[in-house]
Amino acid sequence: MIQVTINSIQKEYILLDQNQRFRQKVLAFIDETNLFGNSLIKYMDNVLSFIEQGYDNFMMDIFEYSTSIVNEFQQRFPTWQLFTSMKILNLYE
């Protein structure tokens, strides 16, 4: 399960060949929620501030955050045995 999560995060946010796809998704989101090209985007009762020059910083933040999540997973669960043994702590089992 951890490896599947890592693979998914890498595929969507980190791998270079997928980065263009993610950029397209973000731009599509901005276009859909910001029809008039305003600097503020309203989404589900939240107001997001958007400026063109901030877009690259936003993408870098997502890349760095995703990379840190993957690194945390890999450091905390370096082997499958360790992850499997943690299942004994699951209160529902």
Instruction: Tell me the per-residue pLDDT of 26-69, one tens digit each, with 9 for 90 and over.
Output: 777 777 766 666 667 666 777 766 666 666 777 777 778 888 88
Residue 43, φ and ψ in degrees, nearest 5: -145, 115
**For the whole model, what pTM was predicted?**
0.50
Question: How much of the chain exceeds pLDDT 90, in percent?
Answer: 0
Alpha-carbon distance of 73 to 2, in angstroms, equals: 7
Is-contact 39 53, C-beta < 8 A?
no
Instruction: Count CB neighbours of 14 within 10 A.
Output: 18
